[in-house]
């Protein structure tokens, strides 16, 4: 099931219709959870299942998703205050599903082209299964932006992703980025609008350092600046461990 979580129902129309269309493409049920409980403000021509909000709001989003077997999550950003985005990111740290923060001023989500920045971290491979789903079920062209590193790890990740994608018949192209692994995601977000890409797929931070706590993690800055939706995938802590 795909869930759209709205905190301001009146202005959530584009997010709701984007999520509904994705549910049709992926052949999944569609549900809405209204934090403000203003169900009458939802578009009349929207078909959805109803999930009641919890008293804890977004802080209980992991529990909501697990109880209702959610496989993909849209979260409305009707305000872009730094404190709200950072709090929302913190609330989503334990999610094991992909999630999108959708700003009210976004257009309807266009999945004809997706940018997939790839750096040297091994958890980047987790993004491939979701990119593959967009290619297979939404006819998305996948544009891989490979980090411009001296080492071979980013190239190895790209090669493994390509091996998966070649099993299917959607369009994939690979380009070497101008930036290295530490800035390739920022480059992808900056290029998305000019290249008519409707989505950027990014791995969330493994863990927060002191700078992330004070200034916000990398995904905060990407979401803040992006003019298109950014899909976040949390690294699986049970699959990866930091090396000495």
Asked whether residue 240 is domain-assigned, the answer is: no
**Domain closes at, from 103, 121, 154:** 103
Asked whether residue 43 is domain-assigned, the answer is: yes
Domain residues for 85? 2-103
Q: DSSP character for 226?
A: -
Residue 158 and residue 210 in one domain: yes
Structure tokens at 186: 């920022």
Residue 123 and residue 178 in one domain: yes
| pTM confidence score | 0.91
Question: One digit per residue, pLDDT tens: the chain, 244 residues?
Answer: 999 999 999 999 999 999 999 999 999 999 999 999 899 889 888 999 999 998 888 999 999 999 999 999 999 998 888 888 888 999 999 999 999 999 999 999 999 999 999 999 999 999 999 999 999 999 999 999 999 999 999 999 999 999 999 999 899 999 999 999 999 999 999 999 889 999 999 998 765 554 545 455 688 889 998 999 999 999 875 544 333 3
Do residues 135 and 167 make contact, with C-beta atoms less than 8 angstroms apart?
A: no
Domain tally for the chain?
2
Asked whether residue 206 is domain-assigned, the answer is: yes
What b-and-e string marks burial along 211-244, b requiring 16 or more CB atoms within 10 Å of the CB?
ebeeebbbbbbbbbebebbbbbbbbeeeeeeeee
| Cα 87 to Cα 80: distance, rounded to the nearest angstrom | 11
Torsion 183-186-190-196 (CA) sign: positive
**Domain closes at, from 103, 129, 149:** 103
């Amino acid at each position: 099931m795909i869930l759209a979580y709205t905190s301001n129902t009146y202005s959530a129309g584009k997010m709701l219709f984007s999520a509904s269309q994705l549910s049709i493409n992926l052949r999944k049920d569609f549900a809405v959870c209204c934090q403000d409980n203003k169900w009458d403000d939802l578009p009349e021509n929207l078909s959805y299942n109803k999930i009641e909000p919890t008293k804890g709001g977004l802080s209980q989003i992991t529990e909501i998703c697990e109880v209702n077997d959610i496989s993909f999550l849209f979260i409305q950003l009707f305000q872009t205050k730094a404190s709200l985005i950072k709090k929302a990111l913190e609330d989503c740290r334990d999610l094991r599903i992909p999630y999108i923060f959708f700003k009210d001023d976004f257009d309807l989500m266009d999945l004809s082209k997706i940018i997939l920045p790839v750096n040297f971290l091994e958890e980047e491979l987790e993004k491939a299964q979701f990119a593959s789903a967009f290619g297979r079920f939404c006819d998305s062209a996948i544009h891989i932006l490979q980090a411009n590193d001296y080492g071979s790890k980013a190239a190895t990740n790209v090669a493994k992703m390509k091996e998966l994608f070649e099993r299917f018949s959607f369009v994939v192209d690979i380009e070497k980025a101008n930036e290295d692994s530490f800035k390739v995601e920022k480059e992808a977000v900056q290029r998305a609008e000019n290249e008519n890409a409707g989505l950027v797929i990014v791995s969330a931070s493994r863990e927060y350092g002191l700078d992330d706590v004070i200034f916000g993690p990398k995904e905060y800055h990407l979401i803040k600046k992006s003019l298109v939706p950014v899909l976040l995938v949390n690294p699986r802590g049970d699959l990866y461990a930091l090396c000495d």
